[in-house]
Amino acid sequence: MRVGIVCPYSFDVPGGVQFHVRDLAEELLSRGHEVSVLAPADDETPVPDYLTAAGRAVPVRYNGSVARLTFGPVTAARTRKWLAAGAFDVLHLHEPVTPSLSMLALWIADGPIVATFHTSTVRSRSLQVAFPLVRQSLEKISARIAVSEDARRTLVDHLGGDAVVIPNGVYVDAFEAAEPDERWVGTAQAPTIAFLGRLDETRKGLPVLLGAVGQVLDAIPGARFLVAGRGDSGQEQARELLGERAGAVEFLGGVSDEDKARLLASVDVYVAPQTGGESFGIVLVEAMSAGAAVVASDLGAFSRVLDDGAAGVLFRTGDAGDLARTLLRVLPDPALRGTVVERAHAVVRRYDWSAVTDQVLAVYEMAVEGGSAPVGEDPSSLRGARLMELRRGRGESR
């Protein structure tokens, strides 16, 4: 099968959706399918051979985060050229209502189209603004996927229609096989607790974790908190909150995929203190696969990934005191950690890319059976592109 995949977010600064697109493409390629990915990226950015760079992206505040998006006539021209050259049996768009590349491709293309929705939010001004721009184009989508029940509910509430839920994927075996790194391995007197996430996004929950550190250190003075992720605000926050004890929080900066797996395989506990905006929780699955006991805020998405708390331990979202109490219950109790880790090993198999890709391919086959291939250009697309340019000129797309 010839598959075209479009990612709206830039590969200059990869994030969760980009990793999802990358891993899906590589799993499909390993099965013998022909795959091409179109994504924002500077022409100088190193990208895989299967990826076509659609042009420079700009940072835009979007859905509580900062996303690097691209739009405009140059991007549209590259999209048209990519579609024409691809002659795809199916086109797979990620986040087609984000005002970026996937929205452009949805306007331009016609034929078997699959769309994956990642966003989870109760209220979204961005989706409310985007909906009039894509309302008619959404009818061209042959099949819809949501990465979680929360993402499906956001789609239903904001855009109408429905979707099949297919979770994000993880290469479970790669995390299970990761070797612990002695720099990050804890002891009974000095257990290690890890956090991964963007340090400058409050919703990722670093302030909640830092708020729990002091209480944990009061009871376990040797505890070490290992913080991995990009951003400059974390160390200053730690110093302000903890003073001389800020040294217990070690900032590792951005880490490679290999170091992330080794980190998760080394620590006693992985903490996910996010406060909202999470539709799934891929890092929870990675930590579970690597053998770390997971402590997570009781967001609906996290609770479902953790099998309603059987495969991890939940605390009240945003409550640093409850996080501290939970850590002080989990860290000294190897039997409890062993129980949740054992359950996690059974749960994670449903998220392995082998299982996830089987489900995605079933959706592709359904879309191809119901539409005429290959994917081509929609003759009405030029009118839609001009409308988006007018909206952007008035500042409405943000």
Identity at 237, one-letter amino acid code: Q
Asked whether residue 7 is assigned to any structural domain, the reply reads yes
Which of 125, 81, 132 has its CA nearest to residue 103? 132
277-283-40 Cα angle (round to 5): 70
Are both 26 and 130 inside the same structural domain?
yes
Are both 159 and 299 inside the same structural domain?
no
Which two tokens mark 368?
Answer: 């191809």
Segment 214-232, tens digit of pLDDT: 999 999 999 999 999 988 7
Are both 219 and 298 inside the same structural domain?
yes
Supply the CATH number for residue 6's domain.
Answer: 3.40.50.2000
Number of compact structural domains in the chain: 2
Q: What is the pTM of this model?
A: 0.84
Where b means 16+ CB within 10 Å and e means fewer, 310-334 reads ebbbbbebbbbebbbbbbbebbeee
Are both 207 and 254 inside the same structural domain?
yes
Which two tokens mark 97?
Answer: 């209502």
Are both 159 and 283 inside the same structural domain?
no
Are both 242 and 215 inside the same structural domain?
yes
| Pairwise CA distance, residues 36 & 353, whole Å | 18
Are both 21 and 152 inside the same structural domain?
yes
Are both 109 and 246 inside the same structural domain?
no
Question: What is the secondary structure of 132-170 as a DSSP string?
Answer: HHHHHHHTT-SEEEESSHHHHHHHHHHH-S--EE----B
Mean pLDDT of 125-145: 75
Which two tokens mark 14?
Answer: 């990869």
Confidence tier at 200 by pLDDT (50, 70, 90): confident
Confidence tier at 387 by pLDDT (50, 70, 90): low
pLDDT above 90: residue 398: no
Are both 30 and 20 inside the same structural domain?
yes
Are both 91 and 162 inside the same structural domain?
yes
Return the higher-pLDDT residue of 96 and 63: 96
Which two tokens mark 9?
Answer: 């977010």
Dihedral angle, C-alpha 2, 374, 119, 30, nearest 10 °? -10
Which of 193, 251, 254 has its CA nearest to residue 220? 193
| Residues 98 and 8: beta-carbon distance below 8 Å | yes
DSSP designation for 100: T
Q: Which domain holds residue 213?
A: 172-351
Asked whether residue 398 is assigned to any structural domain, the reply reads no
Are both 102 and 67 inside the same structural domain?
yes
**Lowest-confidence segment of 74-78, 79-83, 182-186, 204-208 by average pLDDT:** 74-78
The per-residue pLDDT for 279 is: 82
Dihedral angle, C-alpha 103, 352, 311, 230, nearest 10 °? -50
Are both 356 and 267 inside the same structural domain?
no
Asked whether residue 78 is assigned to any structural domain, the reply reads yes
